[in-house]
Structure 1
Amino acid sequence: MPALVFDCDGVLADTERDGHLPAFNATFEEFGLPVRWSDAEYAQKVKVGGGKERMRTLLTPEFVAAAGLPADPAALEEQVAAWHRRKTEIYTGIIRSGDIPPRPGVRRVAEQAHAAGWTLAVASTSAEVSVRSVLELAMGPELATHFGVFAGDLVQRKKPAPDIYAVTVRRLDLDPARVVAIEDSRNGMLSALGAGLACAVTTSAYTEEEDFTGARLVVTSLGDPPPQETVTSVLSDPLGVRPGPWMELADLAALLPDGGDPTASGPSGAGPPDLAPPGPPPPSH
């Protein structure tokens, strides 16, 4: 069967501006760190894959001295890990408050895919607890149980490396040629393409101006019909799918060589190569 694999942040919900950014800044305040990221600064930080990696961008010699942080690398890494644990707690609290709505169409299209027998998954470089909180918010607790969750701590290399998608494909025994990935960023798109997947892009708050050459469809959102109507705008449609005012599963199926035909053959055996075993815990949101 075909598969539909969602990224998390920016795809299931527009969580970067209203979730991750305030969680980072609240963490910095709690730990007495002399920094608060502005919206413009964070627009650049999101290009760095992983929350710990974003925090490590602070660690210039000047910042370490000004914040009274330890100079010993191991002790400094322990401090970053403590910041990140607290940031994840704050972030998941924001998500569970329900203040950030799911993006238009994600639950509707996932329900269509589930009803049609498609495999569903999330492949994200965020921490697993964060991914699961957003997944349940976006899909509801019942539909969320039908998703495979493949989060950042499964791989050493972050997007744009293809590793997280390659792991998803391998563990679910999928044929890459029958998988549609939905991403919102260039790094995510490159990750999906590197794993041999078709990629549709729904642009988000920080990614509207990025280069999505290689995506098979680029839209502003999946959209929804009335009564919660959100009309999607098509930004790039190289295959000539020509979706309507809101996306349907058939539009995404049209991105696959077989059109999402459920009777097509299964895995081809030519999926992504096996990856090296994971190393130390990698950075994550």
Structure 2
Amino acid sequence: MMIDLVIFDCDGVLVDSEAISSEVLIDVLSHIGIELTPEFVRQNCLGRSFPTVAASIRARADRALPDDFEERYRRRLFKRYETDLKVTPGLKSVLSRLVVPCCVATSSSPPRVGRTLHMTGLSSFFGDRVFTASQVARGKPAPDLFLLAAERMVADPARTLVIEDSGPGLAAGFAAGMQVALYAGGSHLIGADLTDWEDIDILGSWADFPPELLSSYPTGTIQ
């Protein structure tokens, strides 16, 4: 594997946040009379920008959302983050041992990803190397965001590895001509049917991260 850059998705990859996001979204919607199932959220919301998520909800409910819906959702979400948000196990060891550059490319809004990285102590690993769907015309599954990240990082897409946890993210990586791996260590993928993705590399945990991209670790284990 010839890799010059690793692009990490944020939610569900760097942090175990997708189950939290799903619970909060379903709860906030229930208070305005819109009932969604976890399966609908998984299929139509995970890995997508908030405008895309909102459009899916409006189409499903056949009604408009309150003007302050996004604000309500984010306020509740950040409250849950304060007590429940965790970095995915073993990630910090991987980031501290990477021997190639890395960055973040996420469908989250700049305020959300900024808050996420700051709260979890991940900001120091990425600095300003954070790219969001707000910077491109088309979000995932279009390749625009990943191509922007590679361009800004001065990397060849063909020598770039994307770590994703959602269908739209994986599709975006393939469309960008990049090497792609599914991170399946998030709680939202526990027990999930991964047969549709069996032809790609699956990281069941960060212990499965390609060792050739890591420096040696003193204890011989990923913490």
Give me the TM-score of the superposition, normalised by structure 2: 0.79
Structure-2 change in CA distance of 1:198 and 1:48 (3 Å): closer
Distance in 1, matches of 2:162 and 2:60, equals: 40
Where does residue 27 of structure 1 map in the other structure?
A: 28
Distance in 1, matches of 2:13 and 2:178, equals: 17
Note if 1:171 corresponds to 2:152: yes
Q: Out of 97, 109, 134, which is 1:127 matched to?
A: 109
Where does residue 43 of structure 2 map in the other structure?
A: 44
Structure-2 change in CA distance of 1:159 and 1:107 (3 Å): same
Note if 1:106 corresponds to 2:91: yes
Distance in 2, matches of 1:61 and 1:39, equals: 14
CA contact (8 A) 1:107 1:139 kept: no
Distance in 2, matches of 1:109 and 1:27, equals: 35
User: What is the CA distance between 1:166 and its match in structure 2?
Assistant: 0.5
User: What does residue range 62-211 of structure 1 map to in structure 2 within 5 Å?
Assistant: 63-64=62-63, 79-80=66-67, 82-95=68-81, 97-113=82-98, 116=99, 118-145=100-127, 148-203=129-184, 204=186, 205-206=188-189, 208-210=192-194, 211=196
Distance in 2, matches of 1:121 and 1:37, equals: 33
Distance in 2, matches of 1:26 and 1:63, equals: 18
Number of residue pairs matched by the alignment: 208
Distance in 1, matches of 2:148 and 2:108, equals: 15
The runs of 4+ residues in structure 1 deviating greater than 6 Å are none
**Bigger CA radius of gyration:** 1
Distance in 2, matches of 1:108 and 1:249, equals: 13
Distance in 2, matches of 1:209 and 1:248, equals: 21
Note if 1:250 corresponds to 2:215: no
CA contact (8 A) 1:201 1:219 kept: yes
Q: Kindly provide the CA deviation profile for residues 106-151 of structure 1, in whole angstroms up to 9, marking residues without a partner as x.
A: 21111111xx3x2221011111221222333445343342x51001
User: What is the CA distance between 1:40 and its match in structure 2?
Assistant: 3.3
Aligned-partner SS, 1:35 = coil
Where does residue 242 of structure 1 map in the other structure?
A: none
Greater mean deviation of Cα atoms: 204-213 or 6-15:
204-213
CA contact (8 A) 2:203 2:209 kept: no
User: What is the CA distance between 1:164 and its match in structure 2?
Assistant: 0.6
Unaligned runs of 5+ in 2: 215-223
Structure-2 change in CA distance of 1:34 and 1:218 (3 Å): same
Where does residue 10 of structure 2 map in the other structure?
A: 8
Distance in 2, matches of 1:139 and 1:197, equals: 28
CA contact (8 A) 2:102 2:126 kept: no
- Residue 38 of structure 1 aligns with an amino acid whose one-letter code is T
CA contact (8 A) 1:180 1:252 kept: no
Distance in 1, matches of 2:112 and 2:161, equals: 23
Distance in 1, matches of 2:174 and 2:166, equals: 12
- Residue 111 of structure 2 aligns with an amino acid whose one-letter code is V
- Residue 110 of structure 2 aligns with an amino acid whose one-letter code is E
User: What is the CA distance between 1:192 and its match in structure 2?
Assistant: 1.1
User: What is the CA distance between 1:33 and its match in structure 2?
Assistant: 1.4
Give me the TM-score of the superposition, normalised by structure 1: 0.63
Aligned-partner SS, 2:161 = strand
Where does residue 220 of structure 1 map in the other structure?
A: 204
The share of aligned pairs that are identical, in percent, is: 22
